[in-house]
């Protein structure tokens, strides 16, 4: 009986190879890129991953509500709130009441935040250059196009998912 179990487990191991599972590969790549970014931004600006993401998105769009920032950074409300509080405490971000919604808040960069934001693009370009060094230009462009397609498709799939099954 044990042989049948082992044979079945081996079959399963052959059917499912973690290293070939796309979500696993994306996660590993994302983790590696995140560590590269954190090294640069943490060392250069003292920013962690959530801080640089929020700083970058507010800098790019000028003024954002926490909800909009969460949508654009794929961070949940709690993470956006904590990250915003951290950036406010460091003098990089300010929040004000939304004139169109008395309960809502709007975020914008301070002068100090704008200075930090101005360093994000050149550092980001250096990181992208390092990442793209292992690919041809056409491979890099194809990766960007495919990744955009996959991101959009994932959003569509998540929107179609019944609310009860979301966690």
Q: What is the pLDDT of residues 99-117, one digit of tens each?
A: 888 788 999 999 999 999 9
Q: Which of 117, 104, 124 is nearest to 61 (CA)?
A: 117
Q: What is the reported pTM?
A: 0.76
Please enumerate, as own/partner, the contacts of 103-109 that have beta carbons within 8 Å and a separation of 24 or more: 104/65, 105/65, 105/66, 106/63, 106/64, 106/65, 107/54, 107/58, 107/63, 107/64, 107/65, 107/66, 107/69, 108/58, 108/62, 108/63, 108/64, 109/55, 109/58, 109/59
- Domain extent listing, the chain: 33-132
Q: Which residues of the chain register pLDDT less than 70?
A: 1-13, 163-167
Report CA-CA distances (Å) from 10 to 1, 21, 22, 115. 14, 17, 21, 56
- Only one residue has tokens 């809502």, namely 104
Task: State which CATH number among 3.50.50.60, 1.10.10.10, 1.20.58.390, 3.40.50.300 fits the domain covering 33-132.
Answer: 1.10.10.10
Q: How far apart are CA 95 and CA 63, in angstroms?
A: 10
Q: What pLDDT score was predicted for residue 105?
A: 93
């Amino acid at each position: 009986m044990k042989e049948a179990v082992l044979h079945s487990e081996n079959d399963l191991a052959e059917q499912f190879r973690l290293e070939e599972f796309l979500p696993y590969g994306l996660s590993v790549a994302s983790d590696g890129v995140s560590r590269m970014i954190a090294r640069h931004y943490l060392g250069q600006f003292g920013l962690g991953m959530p801080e640089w993401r929020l700083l970058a998105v507010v800098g790019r769009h000028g003024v954002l509500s926490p909800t909009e920032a969460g949508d654009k950074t794929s961070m949940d409300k709690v993470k956006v709130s904590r990250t915003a509080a951290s950036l406010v405490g460091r003098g990089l971000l300010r929040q004000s009441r939304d004139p169109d919604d008395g309960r809502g808040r709007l975020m914008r960069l301070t002068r100090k935040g704008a200075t930090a934001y101005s360093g994000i693009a050149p550092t980001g370009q250096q990181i992208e250059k390092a990442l793209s060094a292992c690919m041809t230009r056409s491979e890099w462009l194809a990766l960007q196009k495919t990744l955009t397609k996959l991101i959009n498709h994932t959003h569509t799939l998540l929107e179609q998912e019944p609310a009860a099954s979301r966690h």
